[in-house]
Amino acid sequence: MNSRTFLISLLIISTLSVSAQQKKSAAAVQSTAVSRPKLMVGIVVDQMRWDYLYRFYERYGSGGFKRMLNEGFSVENTYINYLPSVTAVGHATVYTGSVPAIHGMAGNDFIEQSTGRIVYCVEDTTVSTVGSGTVVAGKMSPRNLLTTTMTDELRLATNFRSKVIAVASKDRGSIIPGGHTANAGYWYDEDTGNWVTSTYYMNTLPAWVSNFNAQKYHEKYLKQDWNTLYPINTYIQSTKDDATRYEGKFAGTASPTFPVKTSEMSDRWANLITATPYGSSLTLDLAKAAVENEQLGADAITDFLAISVSSPDYIGHQFGPNSIEVEDTYLRLDRDLATFFSYLDTKVGKGNYTVFLTADHAAQQNANFMIDNKIQAGYFLTSNIQRQLNTLLENDFKVKAAVRSLSNYQVSLNYQAIEAGKASVADVKKIIIEFLQKQQGVAFAVDAEQAQTVNIPSEYRERVINGYNRDRSGVIQIILKPAWYSGTGGTGATHGTLNPGDTRIPFVLMGWGIKHGKTNNPYNMTDIAPTITGLLRIQEPNGNIGKAVSEAYK
């Protein structure tokens, strides 16, 4: 072998050696990479009672709720562990593992106690609407949320390489789950029919969202009318479909019955869709478009898609749990979920994504319905009680309008008026509590600052303490008797109390890292976030007080 041949041979051997070493190093990196799903999907169904998983089980198809139950893991006894049980608080608690006392979302609206100003949970006057000419629609951001979310923690853990996209027809249902660091949050503008965002996230809508808006899908859906998915006489609630004492009708219709001729209501199509099951379909359509156009789950870095399905809440408020409308809503949502999961199977790959489904709160039965069926129930006349309280306090202390509000079942005081009248806050609270405890439907009235020592059931005490935020909550918590709620004898259903109808929610997981099964052990809504962050092997949110449902992990 001459020197030239020797040198060439040596070069080839060296090159092969370096190449082999590089491949070995790459394999070593790959083998030591943290194992995570490509895509995490969170689905919050607004106003979904836990029992809807089973009430309509026989009518569900195989690919939606049944698939989650039969392939995934169900936490059968998951409860809201704070007051009030409303949308903003629920979304915040699901995604932070925390409670109003810490995360600061004390209601959909809450009162800034130092000033008396009413604050909408995601309002932000420093930002502007993107994607619509409706000025107020986009003046929203997560700045009122005081803690991180699991979506924030994923972004932090991957040095912001993970994408987080949030979608919901309600602004708060998108903004809060997306957290402070989301790449985008989109919500529905009922004035224009457009999906919008705010300058908190971006200055211009992505082309794919603009193109989606241009398709006017809301109009295409509503031109089909809303009729039952199956023959109406096969529905559980079919015999009470015309119960106007319990169900609210659509404006311009004679009764709350099917079919609903949405095709003839074109003057209000933009806002009508959220009050029909088509609102859920539209939301999941946008979610699929987000996966496609944002390439969610397309690489090894975990992305997060946060979805809130808001239409069941509007429908539940109008018709109540025992209605064909609600039954049909969940049968249709089941079909939409099956389509969505099938899409993820194809796009991301079955076994490459994890999905969890829960609710922000549930709903009580209509009080009239309960009364007519010989069950104790009733309405708490909030406005009348507030007027009576202010008259009593003015007579006793010469202080006008001492009570600002009874919203969220909490008494918010006018501290400036009380101070100006030289009254004692302690004396005012004492009179209010004594008065409230004599009112029909009231089980307890609790000074939230003294809740730890009040003689009430420990479960109630914990929820009062968890729900009280000194800066944003009323100082006296009103706890009503079971099946009582604030109202004037109307139709439909509501929520906000600690009744299990309001506070027992589904929590089902499916996909990567999740075994098949269920647990009947008691868990709280605060346990959802640490379960997901534990699965992703990232830090829990910085206000978390929950614990992971470790039984769900493979």
Catalytic residue IDs: 87
Burial of 517 (0-12, 13-18, 19+ CB in 10 A): exposed
For the chain, the maximum distance between any two Cα atoms, rounded to a whole number of angstroms, is 115
Which amino acid is residue 347, in one-letter code? Answer: K
CB-count exposure of residue 171 (10 Å: 0-12, 13-18, 19+):
buried
- How many angstroms separate the CA atoms of 20 and 30, rounded? 15
Contact 310, 173 (CB under 8 A): yes
- Show Cβ contacts of residue 229 under 8 Å, excluding neighbours closer than 6 positions: 328, 331, 332, 335
- Residue 243 to residues 50, 312, 320: CA-CA distances in angstroms? 24, 19, 11
Q: Measured between alpha carbons, how far is 483 from 497 in angstroms, rounded to an integer? A: 9
Which tokens hold the place of 491? 């139709």
Q: Give helix 278-294 / helix 207-214 axis angle, nearest 10°.
A: 150
> Which DSSP string corresponds to 437-455?
TTSTTEEEEEEGGGGGGSS
Amino acid of residue 43 = I
Are the beta carbons of 342 and 68 closer than 8 angstroms?
Answer: no
- 209-218 CB burial, b ≥16 within 10 A, e <16: beebbeeebb
52 vs 497: CA distance, rounded Å: 19
Residue 359 in tokens = 């609710």
- CB-based contact 39:305 (threshold 8 Å): yes
- Cα 53 from Cα 128, distance rounded (Å): 39
